[in-house]
Homo-oligomer: A and B are copies of this chain.
Amino acid sequence: MFFHQHVDIPEKEIVPGFYAKFIHTDQMTLALVRIEKGSRLPEHHHVHEQITNILEGELEMNINGEIKSCKPGTSVEIPSNTPHSAVAKTDCLVMDVFSPVREDYKAL
A residues contacting B by CB (< 8 A) are 1-7, 23, 25-28, 30, 32, 49, 51, 53, 55, 61, 63-64, 66, 68, 70, 73-80, 82, 95, 97, 99-100
Residues of B within 8 Å of A28, CB to CB, are 28, 49, 51, 97, 99
Shortest C-beta distance, A66 to chain B (Å), equals 6
Shortest C-beta distance, A72 to chain B (Å), equals 9
Give the interface centre of A7, A26, A97 by most chain B CB atoms within 10 Å.
Answer: A97
* Residue ID in chain B nearest A100 by CB atoms: B27
The answer to whether A2 touches B77, judged by C-beta atoms less than 8 angstroms apart, is yes
The answer to whether B74 touches A3, judged by C-beta atoms less than 8 angstroms apart, is yes
